[in-house]
């Protein structure tokens, strides 16, 4: 596969933190992807929420299926733009590894609990997971991924954190961009969740087609599908609309980015990094339509009372677990208690709180609910 000069090339990789031989039959980026797929954090994405908590139904997206959708979109886009498909796939599969249970409610609750201990940010946690928390390899902590994969995983970062991260933090200080492979994953992430939230929202009955007709991106494709298939049954009709919405956004993204690349002509990954802004983006018109859809989802779906009730429960569970473990680490299972004690010896209260946050962030929705029951419900067995 021919790569464009602005793509990430194995030969110009900034390498791994711990030097390793190049694999025999794979590229380094393929190896990164394979390590992510074989990690335990990746398996746990199956039982972590996107919007709907796991037990609400088997048909909804989870973080795992979301990540696979992002990988699929990213690979298609990367291939057309002659970018490094393996690297984009790697970043996509890893981008949500640091998510807490219960989606954004979980992240906000853990961030609030960690307020006095440096805070909690899921994106930074994804990097921490691949750099430190996975413990499977004999020669190094974490997955020892290439710089380009780590750079792509860390899509945003507060300056105070960036200063402590070394090489991958530098771009936030120097105001540089990530690779194009990373840029398209960010946008593919957005395309994936906006559209699957429409699909899941309709399936769950939180939103309906009537409401969505106010939204241009939806209405355009609704008209196309209804004209062509006037008698289509609802589920198939929704699928036909949503797949066209995705296609419309992806084509816009590819066309706009291609035009940028032809105008600006970056000749290496470093010229992509040193450009004043991201080179991959939607057209202004699509940006506007996406915003409209996002606003709709925020008002009608994420703020829906049924979602809000679950979020309130999630917040309660995370807060209570954090406080309980912080006040009495002996409540933790012995294996994790050991880790918390070690971190506390190294870094006092800060170390202890961070180790507990790592533990909670790693939980699946159902594990967090079970732990809560075992600790706070006297009738439950421990
Ligand atoms: Mg995502």
Q: What is the pLDDT of residue 43?
A: 97
Positive or negative, the CA dihedral 34, 39, 43, 49 is: negative
**Cβ-based neighbour number of residue 199 at 10 Å:** 20
For residue 261, the SS3 value is: helix
CA of 344 to the centre of ligand 1 (A): 32
Which is nearest to 6 in space by CA: 318, 273, 210?
A: 273
Contact 360, 98 (CB under 8 A): no
Q: What is the pLDDT of residue 54?
A: 62
Rounded CA gap, 160 and 80, in Å?
37
Positive or negative, the CA dihedral 307, 310, 314, 320 is: positive
Longest dimension (CA), the chain: 68
CA of 96 to the centre of ligand 1 (A): 6
Tens digit of each residue's pLDDT (9 = 90 or more) over 98-115: 999 999 999 999 999 999
Q: What is the pLDDT of residue 380?
A: 84
CA of 280 to the centre of ligand 1 (A): 17
Tens digit of each residue's pLDDT (9 = 90 or more) over 42-90: 999 999 987 766 666 777 889 999 999 999 999 999 999 999 999 999 9
The rounded mean pLDDT for the chain is 94
Rounded CA gap, 96 and 125, in Å?
9
Per-residue pLDDT at 93 exceeds 90 = yes
Contact 324, 373 (CB under 8 A): no
Per-residue pLDDT at 270 exceeds 70 = yes
Decide which of 218 and 306 is more confident.
218
Tens digit of each residue's pLDDT (9 = 90 or more) over 186-245: 999 999 999 999 999 998 899 999 999 999 999 999 999 999 999 999 999 999 999 999
Rounded CA gap, 1 and 316, in Å?
50
Share of the chain above pLDDT 70, in %: 98
Q: What share of the chain is helix, strand, coil (3-state, %, to 5)?
A: 70, 0, 30
Q: What is the DSSP letter of 129?
A: I
Per-residue pLDDT at 129 exceeds 90 = yes
CA of 82 to the centre of ligand 1 (A): 23
pLDDT band, very low/low/confident/very high, at 34 (cuts 50, 70, 90): very high
For residue 156, the SS3 value is: coil
What spatial distance separates the first Cα and last Cα of the chain, rounded to whole Å?
54
Tens digit of each residue's pLDDT (9 = 90 or more) over 130-163: 999 999 999 999 999 999 999 999 998 888 899 9
CA of 188 to the centre of ligand 1 (A): 9
Share of the chain above pLDDT 90, in %: 88
Q: What is the pLDDT of residue 53?
A: 63
CA of 119 to the centre of ligand 1 (A): 20
Per-residue pLDDT at 30 exceeds 80 = yes
Q: What is the pLDDT of residue 64?
A: 95
Rounded CA gap, 22 and 7, in Å?
19
pLDDT band, very low/low/confident/very high, at 128 (cuts 50, 70, 90): very high
Angle between helices 180-204 and 85-94 (to 10 degrees): 50
Q: What is the pLDDT of residue 60?
A: 81
CA of 197 to the centre of ligand 1 (A): 12
Rounded CA gap, 114 and 108, in Å?
10
């Amino acid at each position: 596969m021919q790569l464009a000069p602005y793509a990430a090339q194995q030969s110009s990789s900034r390498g791994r933190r711990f030097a390793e031989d190049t694999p025999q039959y794979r590229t380094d980026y393929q190896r990164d992807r394979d390590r992510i797929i074989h990690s335990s954090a990746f398996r746990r994405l199956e039982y972590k929420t996107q919007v709907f908590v796991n037990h609400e139904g088997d048909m909804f997206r989870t973080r795992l299926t979301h990540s696979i959708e992002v990988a699929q979109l990213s690979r298609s886009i990367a291939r057309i733009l002659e970018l490094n498909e393996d690297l984009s796939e790697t970043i996509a599969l890893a981008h949500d590894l640091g998510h807490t249970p219960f989606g954004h409610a979980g992240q906000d609750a853990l961030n609030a609990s960690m307020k006095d201990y440096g805070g909690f940010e899921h994106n930074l946690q994804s990097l921490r997971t691949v750099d430190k928390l996975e413990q499977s390899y004999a020669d190094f902590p974490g997955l020892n991924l290439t710089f380009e994969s780590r750079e792509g995983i860390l899509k945003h970062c507060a300056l105070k954190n960036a200063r402590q991260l070394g090489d991958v933090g530098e771009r936030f200080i120097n105001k540089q961009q990530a690779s194009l492979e990373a840029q398209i994953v960010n946008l593919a992430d957005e395309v994936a969740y906006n559209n699957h939230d429409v699909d899941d929202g309709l399936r769950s009955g939180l939103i309906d087609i009537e409401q969505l007709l106010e939204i241009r991106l939806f209405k355009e494709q609704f008209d196309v599908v209804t004209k062509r298939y006037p008698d289509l049954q609802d589920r198939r009709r929704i699928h036909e609309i949503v797949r066209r919405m995705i296609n419309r956004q992806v084509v816009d993204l590819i066309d706009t980015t291609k035009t940028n690349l032809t105008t600006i002509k970056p000749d290496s990954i470093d010229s992509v990094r040193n450009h004043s802004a991201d080179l991959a983006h939607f057209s202004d018109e699509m940006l506007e339509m996406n915003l409209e859809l996002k606003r709709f989802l925020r008002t009608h779906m994420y703020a829906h009372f049924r979602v809000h009730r679950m979020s309130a429960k999630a917040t309660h569970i995370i807060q209570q677990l954090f406080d309980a473990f912080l006040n009495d680490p002996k409540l933790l299972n012995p294996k994790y208690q050991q880790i918390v004690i070690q971190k506390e010896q190294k870094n006092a209260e800060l170390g202890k709180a961070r180790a507990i946050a790592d533990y909670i962030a790693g939980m699946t929705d159902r594990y967090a609910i079970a732990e809560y029951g075992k600790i706070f419900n006297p009738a439950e067995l421990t």
